Structure 1
Amino acid sequence: MNARFDLTTPGYRLRTRGVAQRIHPERWDGTSVAAAVEAALAAANGKTREGKKPIVVGLVPFDANAKAVFYIPEEVDFSTDRSVASLPNDEQSNVFEVHGAESPSYRENVTEALKRIQSGALDKVVLARSVTVDSSSPIDIDAVYARLCARNGSAYVYRADLPDGLEQSSSVLLGASPELVLSCDQGKIRSTPLAGSTPRAANAIADEEVARALLNSKKDLAEHSLVVQAVGETFRQFADMVDVPGEPQLVQTPVIWHLGTYITGMLRANVSPIALAYALHPTPAVGGWPQAAARETIAELEDFDRGFYAGLIGWMDEDGNGEWVLTLRCGIVNGSKATVFAGAGIVAGSDPETEHTETRTKLQTFINALG
Structure 2
Amino acid sequence: MDLYRTSTDKSQPTQADKQASLFSSAHKRIHATGVFTRVAEPALGGGMGNGVFQHAIKAAFSRARQVGITAPIIMGAVPFDVTQVSNLYIPQSYEFVEATAPFPGGRASGFQPVALKQMQSQPNEQRFKQGVAQAVANFNLSDIKKAVLSRILELEFSAGVDVDTLLANLISQNPNGYHFRIPMADGGELLGVSPELLIRKQGERIFSNPLAGSAKRQTDAAEDLIVGQNLKKSSKDSYEHSLVIEAIRHILTPVCRRLDIPAGPELISTAAMWHLSTKIAAQLRDPGMSALQLACLLHPTPAVCGSPAGEAHKLIKLVEAFDRGLFSGMVGWCNEAGDGEWAVTIRCATVKDQRVRLFAGAGIVKESCPESEWLETQAKLGTMLNALGVRQLVEA
2:35 to 11, 14, 19: 19
Change beyond 3 A, Cα 1:27–1:149: closer
**TM-score, with normalisation over the residues of structure 2?**
0.87
For residues 42 and 349 of structure 2, the distance between their equivalents in structure 1, rounded to whole angstroms, comes to 30
2:105 to 85, 98, 101: 85
Does structure 1 residue 340 correspond to structure 2 residue 362?
no
Unaligned runs of 5+ in 1: 164-168
Change beyond 3 A, Cα 1:91–1:266: closer
Q: Would you say the 8 A contact 1:48–1:75 is kept in 2?
A: no
Residue 136 of structure 1 is matched in structure 2 by: 158
1:64 to 67, 78, 82: 82
2:45 to 18, 21, 29: 29
Does structure 1 residue 252 correspond to structure 2 residue 264?
no
- Name which of structure 1's ranges 84-93 and 68-77 shifts more when overlaid on structure 2: 84-93
Residue 8 of structure 2 is matched in structure 1 by: none
What displacement does 1:14 show? 1.1
1:114 to 122, 136, 148: 136
For residues 47 and 236 of structure 1, the distance between their equivalents in structure 2, rounded to whole angstroms, comes to 39
What displacement does 1:288 show? 0.3
For residues 231 and 159 of structure 1, the distance between their equivalents in structure 2, rounded to whole angstroms, comes to 27
Q: Would you say the 8 A contact 2:262–2:279 is kept in 1?
A: yes
Residue 283 of structure 1 is matched in structure 2 by: 301
Q: Would you say the 8 A contact 1:12–1:82 is kept in 2?
A: no
Residue 10 of structure 1 is matched in structure 2 by: 26
Q: Give the % identical residues.
A: 35
Deviations 1:200-226 (A, max 9, x none): 111111111111111111100000000
For residues 66 and 211 of structure 2, the distance between their equivalents in structure 1, rounded to whole angstroms, comes to 36
For residues 48 and 215 of structure 1, the distance between their equivalents in structure 2, rounded to whole angstroms, comes to 52
Does structure 1 residue 315 correspond to structure 2 residue 337?
no
Does structure 1 residue 187 correspond to structure 2 residue 204?
yes
For residues 339 and 93 of structure 2, the distance between their equivalents in structure 1, rounded to whole angstroms, comes to 18
Deviations 1:138-181 (A, max 9, x none): 11011111111111112111111112xxxxx3311111111000
Query: Aligned to 2:187, what secondary structure does the other structure show?
Result: coil
For residues 47 and 215 of structure 1, the distance between their equivalents in structure 2, rounded to whole angstroms, comes to 53
Deviations 1:249-271 (A, max 9, x none): 11211011010111111122232
Change beyond 3 A, Cα 1:364–1:25: closer
What displacement does 1:26 show? 9.1
Amino acid at match of 1:223: E
- Name which of structure 1's ranges 213-222 and 10-19 shifts more when overlaid on structure 2: 10-19
Q: How does 1:36-55 map to 2 (within 5 A)?
A: 36-42=56-62, 44-45=64-65, 49=69, 53-55=71-73
RMSD of aligned residue pairs (Cα, Å): 2.0
For residues 26 and 254 of structure 1, the distance between their equivalents in structure 2, rounded to whole angstroms, comes to 34
What displacement does 1:117 show? 1.6
Q: Would you say the 8 A contact 2:43–2:82 is kept in 1?
A: no
Change beyond 3 A, Cα 1:310–1:82: farther
Query: Aligned to 1:65, what secondary structure does the other structure show?
Result: coil
Amino acid at match of 1:248: P
Does structure 1 residue 354 correspond to structure 2 residue 372?
yes
Q: Would you say the 8 A contact 2:191–2:350 is kept in 1?
A: yes
Residue 166 of structure 1 is matched in structure 2 by: none
For residues 36 and 187 of structure 1, the distance between their equivalents in structure 2, rounded to whole angstroms, comes to 23
What displacement does 1:8 show? 2.1
Q: Would you say the 8 A contact 2:348–2:384 is kept in 1?
A: yes
Change beyond 3 A, Cα 1:276–1:151: same
Amino acid at match of 1:290: P
For residues 344 and 113 of structure 1, the distance between their equivalents in structure 2, rounded to whole angstroms, comes to 12
Deviations 1:110-149 (A, max 9, x none): 1111111233441000000011112122110111111111
1:176 to 183, 187, 193: 193
Q: Would you say the 8 A contact 2:41–2:86 is kept in 1?
A: no
Residue 99 of structure 1 is matched in structure 2 by: 120
What displacement does 1:42 show? 5.0
For residues 82 and 143 of structure 1, the distance between their equivalents in structure 2, rounded to whole angstroms, comes to 15
- Name which of structure 1's ranges 23-32 and 334-343 shifts more when overlaid on structure 2: 23-32
For residues 95 and 374 of structure 2, the distance between their equivalents in structure 1, rounded to whole angstroms, comes to 40
Q: How does 1:135-174 map to 2 (within 5 A)?
A: 135-163=157-185, 169-174=186-191
For residues 201 and 25 of structure 1, the distance between their equivalents in structure 2, rounded to whole angstroms, comes to 43
Q: Number of residues paired by the alignment?
A: 364
What displacement does 1:345 show? 0.2
For residues 93 and 148 of structure 1, the distance between their equivalents in structure 2, rounded to whole angstroms, comes to 17
1:209 to 226, 241, 247: 226
Residue 76 of structure 1 is matched in structure 2 by: 94
What displacement does 1:11 show? 3.4
Amino acid at match of 1:147: N
Query: Aligned to 1:67, what secondary structure does the other structure show?
Result: coil
For residues 269 and 94 of structure 2, the distance between their equivalents in structure 1, rounded to whole angstroms, comes to 31
Residue 6 of structure 2 is matched in structure 1 by: none
For residues 361 and 277 of structure 2, the distance between their equivalents in structure 1, rounded to whole angstroms, comes to 17
**TM-score, with normalisation over the residues of structure 1?**
0.93
Unaligned runs of 5+ in 2: 1-14, 390-396
For residues 165 and 197 of structure 2, the distance between their equivalents in structure 1, rounded to whole angstroms, comes to 24
